[in-house]
Structure 1
Amino acid sequence: MNAPNSTQHFFELASSINTSNSTLAQLQDGYICHLQDQSLLQASGDDAASFLHNQLSNDVEHLNYTQARYAAYCTPKGRMLASFLYWKSDGNIILQCSSSLQPALQKRLQMFVMRSKVKLEDVSEQFATIGLGGKTASAFLLTQFTQLPEVINDKISGEAGTIIRVHDAFDTPRYLWILTHTKLIDISAQIDASLKKVDASIWRLGNIHAGVPQVLEQSKEKFVPQMINFELIGGVNFRKGCYPGQEIVARSQYLGKLKRRMAIARVSADSVDIATEVFSDNDPTQPCGMIVSAERDFDQNFACLVEMKLADQEQGKVHLGSHMGPILNFLPLPYAYLDVTE
């Protein structure tokens, strides 16, 4: 059995451990999951940083080794083709994105390399991408690292791999851990003794609670970054140089008040699909937004990130799928709507 398959085998029993048979208290105690729906794209070479700096919505050239950052990859019309979390590792730049998008993204980026000294490589099979959270997760990670990153998006690397502090969820810290398959299998007994293995859907649910979106195949080219609050989580640098779609993104920010935003909502439904439209009682004939992501929550309703007109974010007046569909109940975001250019 090769290393990636060994990792999958280690986590395969967790595929049935989701919110239907886990409680919030159990997750707050400590959990771990295999993020098999995420891919890792590595950019190496002398021009890797400058190349990506000219392609993405965030600063890559001044990224240091203790940080991770979000970035959007946009069309010339400012619509997001992908969302990345990226960081430096051993002189290279690693970009994490949805596995549903990785092949097309790599091909598209490769088209613009031209004479730049950049090599783009899918390294997903070389590493295990792991999510951890809860009280015992921090204690367990301190058996592998001498210290942990304390600030959101801070990063620490060592012999045990790379650990990134991501946005909290379920009232506890969360960490993204990139490590070799061999290392993961070596410590599998320690993991079994310390943490509850769960399905990756619980990690995605945590992202919804944290207000952190990810562009998937179903939602690509649907959003300008601000429509899904991407600049509010640090995904857009308005002071860097040009990149595809930069003019549209800047114009959306500077010319008047933003009229569309992303909210967190709950809805009682049999299923909720990404990109499903939502409708307001204010104008039931036209959709006012769409679902960005959705996962079954602990009460068996769905928790959603929904992009829509700010003017229509009214309790009891927004419906899923049609003007007769289930009602969306809005929850507060864990961050404020701010003008990050000021």
Structure 2
Amino acid sequence: MAAATLQTQLNRNVRLTHLGALDVMGADAEKFLQGQTSTQVSLANGHFAPLTCFCTPKGRVLANAQLLRLGEEHFRLIMSASLIDMLANHLKKFAAFYRTELVVQSSLTFIGASAEAQSLAETTGVILPEHPSTQYQSHSVTVLRQPGKARWLFSVDNSSPYDELDDNDQARNAWHLEDIRSGIAWITIAQQDHFLPQMLNWEALGGISFKKGCYTGQEVVARAHFRGQVKKRLARIFVTTATPPDIGDTLVDADGKSVGEVVSCAFNEEQNVELLAVVSTKVVEGVSAAFWHDQPATLCSLPYALERLDPEQLAVNLNA
């Protein structure tokens, strides 16, 4: 895919069919989420929309998401559509003890916008948020500023017609590529219960609060952080191939031993592949090489440091 073609695809408004939303509503919605999710829920204030994740008791990620507050007793989780039903069923086991309701939002269209974002904002009656991980809401439309290049994620009601949307794989590929270059991996149903949050660099992205109280999996996540026990990390990788890896494909070292797992991938401007993979720290540190189908997996830089970034600090910075 030529650079001009890729940029053209990113400039268009694209329907993002891989995303879905789960709403959590009710008088106890905040209290309920506080006991289940990795972020400090009170930080989601209608402006800051923190990253978060839900874990098993053993600290493995069931789903990672972005948390929005739409009202005093109304929160929305945006994540891979493949995880929505699973997470809803998982959370219902605990929600029964709270005044809260879980609603799978099947009536939303997700639109990725870049160059045409301002025009779409005017059409939908919203204001484009300036900083990544911030939101703006107006009636049934919500818009989130995304990391990386200037781009925004709109969620709009299906009853509103938007005829100028790209609905093709090339346009979605351009969006996925920007996620990869931003170092953000959204897991799918095939990868639930595979990774500790730190293996997805989630604490480096501000998706874990180490200052909040208990939540499911918190002890394991905290122990891995404070004892430095994380032996795998998310890495951005380039592979010269015209055939994209499948999600979950294995990366191996020179001896054929597994050293990583593909989490997401997309074609770049040269029609080769860029991907995010959870790999051994030996690969990240350059001690061990990695290969996919005999093709060298070349490490690329990430736009953030592999160190703890507290969501509380992010919230302070946004409000400064």
TM-score scaled by length of structure 1: 0.82
Q: How many equivalent pairs are there?
A: 307
2:146 counterpart SS class: strand
Equivalent of 1:307 in 269, 278, 288: 278
- Structure 1 residues 123, 147: CA separation in 2 closer, same or farther (over 3 Å shift)? closer
Give the deviation of 1:249 after TM superposition. Answer: 0.7
**Which letter does structure 2 place at the counterpart of 1:158?**
S
Cα deviation digits, residues 276-325 of structure 1 (max 9, x gap): 111223xx25311111111222211111001112222339921015xxx2
For 2:269 and 2:256, the matched residues in 1 are separated by: 33
2:144 maps to which residue? 164
**What is the identity percentage for the equivalent residue pairs of Structure 1 and Structure 2?**
27
Pairwise mapping of residues 159-238 of structure 1 onto structure 2 (< 5 A)? 159=139, 161-168=141-148, 172-183=149-160, 185=161, 188=163, 191=164, 199-238=171-210
1:335 maps to which residue? 304
For 1:164 and 1:279, the matched residues in 2 are separated by: 37
**Which letter does structure 1 place at the counterpart of 2:303?**
P
- Structure 1 residues 196, 279: CA separation in 2 closer, same or farther (over 3 Å shift)? closer
2:223 maps to which residue? 251
Equivalent residues of 1:144, 1:160 under 8 A apart: no
Give the deviation of 1:152 after TM superposition. Answer: 0.7
Cα deviation digits, residues 40-82 of structure 1 (max 9, x gap): 1111110111101100111113420112111111111111111
For 2:253 and 2:283, the matched residues in 1 are separated by: 6
Pairwise mapping of residues 36-185 of structure 1 onto structure 2 (< 5 A)? 36-90=17-71, 91-124=73-106, 126-133=107-114, 135-142=115-122, 144-145=124-125, 147-159=127-139, 161-168=141-148, 172-183=149-160, 185=161
2:95 counterpart SS class: coil
For 2:187 and 2:36, the matched residues in 1 are separated by: 17
For 1:177 and 1:163, the matched residues in 2 are separated by: 4
> Given the alignment of the two structures, is residue 239 of structure 1 paired with residue 211 of structure 2, yes or no?
yes
**Which letter does structure 2 place at the counterpart of 1:297?**
N
Give the deviation of 1:142 after TM superposition. Answer: 4.5
1:296 maps to which residue? 267
Equivalent residues of 2:126, 2:137 under 8 A apart: no
- Structure 1 residues 312, 88: CA separation in 2 closer, same or farther (over 3 Å shift)? same
- Structure 1 residues 253, 54: CA separation in 2 closer, same or farther (over 3 Å shift)? same
1:231 counterpart SS class: coil
Deviates more, 1:252-261 or 1:65-74: 252-261
- Structure 1 residues 257, 74: CA separation in 2 closer, same or farther (over 3 Å shift)? closer
